[in-house]
A and B are shown apart, each in its own frame.
Chain A
Amino acid sequence: MALATSPPEAGEAGAPGRYSSDAAGLGRLRAGVFVAPALLLIAAFLVFPALWVLYLALTNYRLTGAAAAEPQFVGLANLLDAAANPEFWSSTWLTVEFVLGSAVIGQVGLGFTIAWLLRDRRGPLKRLVEGLVILAWILPGAIVSFLWVALLDRDGGTLNALLGIQGFAWLLDHPMLSIIVFNIWRGTAFSMMLYGAALGNVPPSHLESARLAGASGWQQLRDVVFPHIRGHVLTNLLLISLWTFNDFTPFLLTAGGPDGRSEVLAVHVYKVALQSGELGYGAAVSAIILLINLVVAVFYLRLLRRRK
């Protein structure tokens, strides 16, 4: 919003929407004082680390060895290494699979479905379903991961026992499917709550009118409900896509195995940077992740703005 800078007429001080230059300066100063701590925190914990990662990405910095003591500037070598590394590409595609499967299709789809089915309901059933779904959300990732490892274990795992089969290795034979199902189970609560709140804002009179006009259930959903909750859907999609993209919990289920078949990018970075100690290369892959996240965020925000 542009601030008016022309001096007020005599006796007009304090006219709505107009400020004296002194008042404007004071206002800016006051705003600056209020915003400064937040800006400092953002600079210290976001901008500086991001710049530091970009710097590390241009070096051969390692966790141990001579390059830990005296890292050399290697330019874009790490990025070129990543581009030539089949493990990087395999991790990238697995991450895309993970985001599409568990976030876009799973959590958004299932979260909306549950919210839609529960929209007009009251009573114990709703509370039970909500309680069960939210339980997954409130438990720490490390704890539920261990629970799932026990659940899916091929020897003595609960799932095999329930199904009456022996020795089926879910995490080994279907690592990505197991991780995607786990993430859907764990993350659906957030989408469900968000959609539940959004659906509450759809004016019942609009739905009633649509019903009276003979609209089918699908038409009501498409033409009345969706336009109202579109912003929520896109915001939710953005948030959970980014969360899933950066999610490290797959490591707790499979450690990226077997043979890298569940090594999503976050796990790939952990393995190369902290297990193999290649901090420079790890920083380069982190920078790529940062870039992808930014592109996705900008894309979603533009979509959101255009629809508005």
Chain B
Amino acid sequence: MGVVAVITAAGLGLAACGQSSGGGGGGGGDAIELTITQNAIAGGKNAAGANFIANWVIPKFEAAQKAKGKNVKVKFVPSGVDDEQYKTKLSLDLKSGKGADVIDIDGIWAGEFAEAGYLKPLADLVGTDADGWDGWSQIPEAVQGLATFNGKKYALPVGTDGRVLYFNKTLFQKAGLPADWQPKSWQEILDAGTKLKSSGVPVPIQINAGTAMGEATSMQGVLPLLAGAGGEVQKDGKWAGATQPLKDALGLYQKIYGGGLGDPKLQQEAKGRDKSFQQFAAGKIGILMEGDYFWRGVVNPATGVAKMADRDQVVGYAMIPAMEPGKGIRGQDFVSMSGGALRTVNPNSKHPKEAFELATFTLSPEGLKEETKDGNVRITPRTDVNKEILAGEPLLTYISEKVLPLTAYRPPVAVYPQVSVALQEATAAVVGGTAPDQAAADYQKKLEGIVGGPGNIAS
């Protein structure tokens, strides 16, 4: 009856395993207790972020509050699990009226969390402080959009990112390909893959597919390809069904995985993405489509999970081309997708104002500079510090200057995550041998159930 228990516990809110809201512990006199959580853990996932919170944010924030005459104690609640599991845990925490005071979420969860009542507009929680934060003036409109749902701000953006094609220059050299490779069409990617294969590279091209990869398949796979074929998952309120761009995108998957240029099994394994990271670092993958996280969190020589000591010499990067020049969304030659994390205040917090203060403290110019030092560079939400932080980081400067201007964002609506899963299933089907047209038709059928019937779908 374990299954029954799981469901019931979810319904009853008994399974919530989160921390109690700040200030609920008692025993601290007049101390205000705050908790902050991220999917980050020392020595594991996003270790740099975890260390930043534990070693800089907490002591500095507590000291700053003490200087103001407030006794504030902050506790970090680490986590180091798959994003889907982290989301489930947060949902159960929030559903049962618990959870940390300051919470990091993926930008794309904001809509469904807000609709569920798990998050409240910041203005409702902390009043005028929400709009009065001086950081807003430094955050570009598109990035603010990540934190906005139905016209209201629900969180603070933690940053944004972009997607490129990474390639191994050593393998390219062996295959007779240039070190400054920049494909201008999908065919040029396939051609490079064929040359890599002839030169003995085990996995010439790796583009995420399947459900095991979760949202990574959407962000580093089907959505950039869809954009490259001129399609958008949702446009003018209508969802794209079995459209030609989707068939084209799935057709590229078929050419790669049906044509021996990719490893279908890597897409099916539960830890396939991690394995693809290891294989790229080991020089077994020629071309890999990934976000900037790959550069700074995976093959980072200092803190990566698959460190490449010679990253800067060996790893090349190129913009993702449209199917053919000018065929991408908005008539673009190159495309990308962007996302970003959010930091928000738990509506169940007993000290929302202090929690908001803590969240803004982490995103202060000093905080962001501290977090991104020692090679842990990322594109922050603030333009006033990005230039300084990104200086000396060619890939992130490249993304910031060349990729972000042409990027696209996922629709910030609650139903998107379900649509994303259906897209992942379509790619899984093609990698498993289903014809692209059939997979697209199956996707449309599933989509109708998700978005409320064929009336909401553009074919």
The interface of chain A, by Cβ under 8 A from chain B, is 46, 49-50, 52-53, 56, 61-66, 68-69, 154-155, 169, 171-172, 246, 248, 254-255, 257-259, 265-266, 269-270, 273-277, 279, 282-283, 286, 289-290, 293
Q: In the bound complex, do residue A52 and residue B11 qualify as a contact, i.e. CB atoms below 8 Å apart?
A: yes
Q: Write the nearest CB–CB distance from A298 to chain B, whole angstroms.
A: 16
9-residue interface stretch from B19-27, B114-122, B158-166, B397-405: B114-122
Partner of B91, one of A63, A169, A265: A63
CA distance A305 to B387 in the complex (A): 80
Q: Does B391 contact A (CB under 8 A)?
A: no
Q: In the bound complex, do residue A259 and residue B4 qualify as a contact, i.e. CB atoms below 8 Å apart?
A: no
Q: In the bound complex, do residue A289 and residue B3 qualify as a contact, i.e. CB atoms below 8 Å apart?
A: yes
Q: Write the nearest CB–CB distance from B111 to chain A, whole angstroms.
A: 8
9-residue interface stretch from B228-236, B299-307, B413-421: B413-421
Partner of A155, one of B10, B84, B211, B275: B275
Q: In the bound complex, do residue A50 and residue B414 qualify as a contact, i.e. CB atoms below 8 Å apart?
A: no
Q: In the bound complex, do residue B11 and residue A69 qualify as a contact, i.e. CB atoms below 8 Å apart?
A: no
Q: In the bound complex, do residue B3 and residue A63 qualify as a contact, i.e. CB atoms below 8 Å apart?
A: no
Q: In the bound complex, do residue B3 and residue A266 qualify as a contact, i.e. CB atoms below 8 Å apart?
A: yes
Of listed B4, B12, B211, B415, residue having the most chain A CB within 10 A: B4
Contacts A/B (CB < 8 Å), 23 sampled: A52-B8, A61-B11, A63-B92, A64-B417, A66-B116, A68-B95, A155-B275, A172-B265, A172-B268, A172-B269, A257-B212, A257-B269, A258-B432, A259-B428, A259-B429, A269-B7, A270-B6, A273-B7, A274-B6, A274-B88, A277-B417, A279-B10, A290-B4
User: Which residues of chain B are near A274, meaning CB under 8 Å?
Assistant: 6, 10, 88
User: Which residues of chain A are near B12, meaning CB under 8 Å?
Assistant: 49, 52
CA distance A65 to B429 in the complex (A): 27
User: Which residues of chain B are near A293, meaning CB under 8 Å?
Assistant: 1
Q: In the bound complex, do residue A289 and residue B269 qualify as a contact, i.e. CB atoms below 8 Å apart?
A: no
Partner of B414, one of A46, A64, A269, A275: A64
Q: List 4 tightest A-B contacts by C-beta distance, closest first.
A: A258-B268, A68-B116, A64-B112, A49-B8
Q: Does B109 contact A (CB under 8 A)?
A: yes
Q: In the bound complex, do residue A266 and residue B2 qualify as a contact, i.e. CB atoms below 8 Å apart?
A: yes
Of listed B1, B113, B417, B421, residue having the most chain A CB within 10 A: B1
Contact with A along B265-288 (1 / 0, CB 8 A): 100111000010000000000000
Q: In the bound complex, do residue A65 and residue B116 qualify as a contact, i.e. CB atoms below 8 Å apart?
A: yes
Q: In the bound complex, do residue B212 and residue A270 qualify as a contact, i.e. CB atoms below 8 Å apart?
A: no
Dominant secondary structure at the A interface: helix
Contact with A along B417-459 (1 / 0, CB 8 A): 1100100000011001000000000000000000000000000
The interface of chain B, by Cβ under 8 A from chain A, is 1-8, 10-12, 84, 88, 91-92, 95, 109, 112-113, 115-118, 210-212, 265, 268-270, 275, 414-415, 417-418, 421, 428-429, 432
Dominant secondary structure at the B interface: helix
CA distance A289 to B6 in the complex (A): 13
CA distance A73 to B58 in the complex (A): 46
Q: Give B113's nearest chain A residue, CB to CB.
A: A64
User: Which residues of chain A are near B113, meaning CB under 8 Å?
Assistant: 64
Q: Give A64's nearest chain B residue, CB to CB.
A: B112
Q: In the bound complex, do residue B88 and residue A169 qualify as a contact, i.e. CB atoms below 8 Å apart?
A: no
Q: Write the nearest CB–CB distance from B18 to chain A, whole angstroms.
A: 14
Partner of A56, one of B3, B11, B269, B414: B11
Q: In the bound complex, do residue B112 and residue A65 qualify as a contact, i.e. CB atoms below 8 Å apart?
A: yes
Q: In the bound complex, do residue A169 and residue B117 qualify as a contact, i.e. CB atoms below 8 Å apart?
A: no
User: Which residues of chain A are near B3, meaning CB under 8 Å?
Assistant: 246, 248, 265-266, 269-270, 286, 289
Partner of B7, one of A64, A169, A172, A286: A286
Q: Write the nearest CB–CB distance from A101 to chain B, whole angstroms.
A: 20
CA distance A282 to B5 in the complex (A): 12
Q: Given A52-B8, A66-B116, 19 more contacts at CB 8 Å?
A: A52-B12, A61-B11, A63-B88, A65-B116, A65-B415, A68-B115, A68-B118, A246-B1, A248-B3, A257-B269, A258-B210, A258-B269, A259-B210, A259-B268, A269-B3, A269-B7, A270-B3, A279-B11, A282-B7
Q: Write the nearest CB–CB distance from B90 to chain A, whole angstroms.
A: 9
**Given A68-B115, A169-B265, are A63 and B10 also a contact pair (CB < 8 Å)?**
yes
CA distance A55 to B224 in the complex (A): 42
CA distance A266 to B116 in the complex (A): 26
User: Which residues of chain A are near B417, meaning CB under 8 Å?
Assistant: 64, 277
Q: In the bound complex, do residue A289 and residue B265 qualify as a contact, i.e. CB atoms below 8 Å apart?
A: no
Q: Write the nearest CB–CB distance from A34 to chain B, whole angstroms.
A: 25
Q: Give B414's nearest chain A residue, CB to CB.
A: A65
User: Which residues of chain B are near A265, meaning CB under 8 Å?
Assistant: 3
Q: Write the nearest CB–CB distance from B73 to chain A, whole angstroms.
A: 31
Q: Give A278's nearest chain B residue, CB to CB.
A: B418
Q: Write the nearest CB–CB distance from B254 to chain A, whole angstroms.
A: 15
User: Which residues of chain B are near A62, meaning CB under 8 Å?
Assistant: 116
Q: Write the nearest CB–CB distance from A156 to chain B, whole angstroms.
A: 11
**Given A65-B115, A257-B269, are A49 and B5 also a contact pair (CB < 8 Å)?**
yes
User: Which residues of chain B are near A273, meaning CB under 8 Å?
Assistant: 6-7, 10
